[in-house]
Structure 1
Amino acid sequence: MLPVVQVFRRDAPGEWWPEGADVFQLLWCPNTHWDPPSPQADGSPVVEIRWRQAATLPPEPSQPPPPVRHEDDDYGFTPRPCLLAPVALTDFPYPRELPPSLQDEVHQLVKETGSDDEGGDIITRVAGSKFGGWPTWHLTEPCTMLCRECGAVMELLFTVASDATTGITVGRWGDLRVFSCPADIQHGYEFDVH
């Protein structure tokens, strides 16, 4: 498992933090797994989420082991060391998920901002690694993830996005998304690559 991202609560406050945790860590096996255990996504790394307390972290991070297999530079899951700058943003659901009365207004705003290039827009699909917000649906129609424990509609917890600035590549330049149950974070996660 390689460390991909570590976020402190002070840098990304929100309702997604479990009680007593102030550090979020996402690790993954950097190899593509075509038949991973559930709830992992086919054709993706196997992901592990850790919620920790900053006081229990070692003073110096340990050096992760090199991956067993290296993917091509433009395809794969080997992160490069970098720092992320937290920025508070608001994004909105995919327009078809909005009430009909708002859909026209959002489409007009997208048109006015000139952000509808190549089928994407920066208003309803804020790119980048992020806590919360709304998942992008640039490859498929929107779908609902259901909690395997209680059947609740899961919410986007975290996105690891391909990004030239950070050097992170997710598969074929996509996003790895982590969904969690709003009823109880202990119900586990659903992962997908989009």
Structure 2
Amino acid sequence: MSPQTEIPDLVCPPGTDLLQVLWCPFHHEDDSGTEVYWRRAADVEQALFEPPEPPLVVDEEFVPYPCVLNPERITEFPPSHLIPENLAARIREWERERHMDYDDDLSIPPGWKVGGWEPVWTFGDPIPLCCEQCGADVEPLLMLEGGDSTHSWRAVEDNAELGEVPGPESHPGVRIGRDYTLQIYCCSRDRTHPRVTAMR
């Protein structure tokens, strides 16, 4: 994906303008099976419009559906575990009155995204993450949600009110672990440092 055209808010390391994410179609216990590369679009001599099929796949759900990139800018709010306690208490009261869930319905949108806030940890307590190379804080780069989303968030092009029914092409359809969410982080000091991943 070329941030200058498709993802204007994505900050690239100096001298790069292209983010390439490689995906392995196998189950990985301790790692996400992803690799992230920063490149220059001018160095790409020939783009592949039909990516080659992997020679071996353990499960077809590990292979993304071909889909169209339709980025949509949205405003998301910090998850409840990052909000000061006095404000979090007011939000909990608001949730009881409105029968809504702040984290699921208003805070972190589901699906695949660039940047934003980190999602709520769905199992266990949050784990402090830092750059393994320099020890600096990390910031969210990509969020990849496995399975189909049934939350209140919905992209404009998938909006049923417009008479459109989302098909397989509207979602990558990838199973991540046991339908987890994969978060890919980058170093806040140097985005070329090795990425950090977390499963939620």
> What TM-score, normalized by structure 1, do the two folds share?
0.76
The equivalent residue for 1:150 is: 134
8 Å contact 1:31–1:45 — kept in the other structure? no
Query: Quick one: which of 85, 91, 110 aligns to 1:100?
Result: 85
Q: Deviations over 1:66-115 (max 9, x none)?
A: 24232164xxx211111131011122222122122321344355556654
Query: Quick one: which of 165, 177, 182 aligns to 2:188?
Result: 182
The equivalent residue for 1:50 is: 37
> How many Å separate the matches in 2 of 1:161 and 1:91?
16
1:69 aligns with 2:57: yes
1:128 aligns with 2:111: yes
Name the amino acid aligned to 1:54: A
The equivalent residue for 2:176 is: 170
Query: Quick one: which of 3, 20, 28 aligns to 1:8?
Result: 3
Name the amino acid aligned to 1:134: W
Q: Deviations over 1:5-60 (max 9, x none)?
A: x35332222363212322211112111133xxxxxxx1x54211112222232444
Cα distance 1:172–1:59, how it changes in 2: closer, same or farther (>3 A)? same
The equivalent residue for 1:87 is: 72
Segments of structure 1 that go 5 or more residues without pairing to the other structure are 1-5, 35-41
> How many Å separate the matches in 1 of 2:185 and 2:95?
26
1:28 aligns with 2:28: no
Segments of structure 2 that go 5 or more residues without pairing to the other structure are 149-169
In angstroms, what is the RMSD of aligned CA positions? 2.5
> How many Å separate the matches in 2 of 1:109 and 1:16?
35
8 Å contact 1:21–1:52 — kept in the other structure? yes
> What TM-score, normalized by structure 2, do the two folds share?
0.74
